[in-house]
Structure 1
Amino acid sequence: MDTLTDFVADPWAVATPERERVAVFSDGLDLYPAAEGGLFHSTTALPDSVGELLPVGCLGRDRLYVARASGVEGQSLRSVYPNASPAERAALGAARQRLQWVRDHAFCGRCGGPTQWYEHEYTLYCAHCDHRHYPRVSPCVIVAVHDGDWLLLGRSPRHPPDLWTLIAGFIEPGESAEAAVAREVHEETGVQLADVRYHGSESWPFPHQLMLGYSARFAGGPLRRAEDELVALEWFHRDSLPRVPGDWTIAGRLIQAFSQGRA
């Protein structure tokens, strides 16, 4: 499993799977690996406290399910991701988002009635008002703002104190991704942008984001840090970057592209 295409978010993409495996999560939605050290459990060797199995997709020739087990302690996906393959990260992220979705929508947001799982349509259905709840995906933008050999990085209060990263934010209703890039950067840093270019996307299951990665050229304006969003904001030369996210993240890959002159 070396490529993202090894995971397909369709549990029935493989008619006759070689194996059926389960990603087990704790009540706090941390991953509970198998006893032998693997990321996934066999359906024949699950914890006693495991709940309902929900289909997630196919990982290679294996059908993948997710379940929650009470009374177990797991590991955060952030700690597991650096050593997992892209396909495993995609599968684990999808599994965690399925579990979060079912937990958050046990009752209908329209009428308050209980929802039912319709697995072949990936929806939670309310029989009382006939409303269907589909998995929530929240689109976000993240942008590498550069000025020649210099890259703009910020530190968030939610991150470790020595970790610097790119400016990011949610897309608002009625807004294009490119408009969100310009707005978020201006709100958090005060600067203007030019040459906004799309680089790629990444599923980010914390809890259910889709990150759209961009680069943009600095077009003017003094730095004006949004104190409610960032604890620090600075320009860094490509040859002296601080600690930044690993290249298993889209932030890390955008920063790597800049440092290699590919921004």
Structure 2
Amino acid sequence: MAATALTIDGLEVSFGSVKAVNNVTMTIAEGELRVLLGANGAGKTTLMDLISGRTHSTRGHIHLYDTEITNWQEHRIARAGIGRKFQIPSVFRELTVRQNFEVASCRNPSVFANLGFGFSRQTLARIEEVLAIVDLRDKADVTAAYLSHGQTQWLELGLLMLQDPKVILLDEPTAGMTAAETKKTAKIINSMRGKHTLLVVEHDMAFVREIAERITVLHLGEVLAEGDIASIETDQAVRRAYLGSRSIS
């Protein structure tokens, strides 16, 4: 039985009189790919902010494996093993794709003065492996500033893979992508399944169908439903609150 990678217990936060997250409880197993679904204002991004330390909760607890990380500072949570990808990519635009990957692979803070030096064969092999996974092998020596939007998103996914956090949070990873780029992103994320623990916020229903293993639906800051895609798309409460009369397609 897989260990529990992330435990959220009775988590709450209010902004003035508005309770943005209300008594949210969920557990994510090691290696699981969980999709967080909900309409705008459902509390999805706020929940991600709470997990990553960007926002502090007013009640409840968060555990990363056996360590409680509730309301830790953002940088401390990152060091503990929570990696996050925002809608707007954060990469070193002045460096090449390969140099970005070298930075992500190096634990030495003086890496900028030593790019390309001191990497083990294992590390170099892993960089090549991730270049292939995110389909950027032919762009390895291209400066990141010249990548397309989709390629920049894949670069950031590759950076997270190389940093190898215990849990990866992905906030709308297909935002602004073409249909072809979205399909490729689904393939990349599916390749991460089992090797990484992932929590993915997404509203593109076609994309959700491509990656969904287990879904948690939020509505007005609360957990409305949880289950596989078949049970979620037939859940009447979910249909009323979010999907309307249409199925996930």
- What TM-score comes out, normalization by structure 2 length? 0.28
Q: 1 or 2 for the larger relative contact order (CA 8 Å, sep ≥6)?
A: 2
Structure of greater Rg: 1
* Greater fraction helix: 2
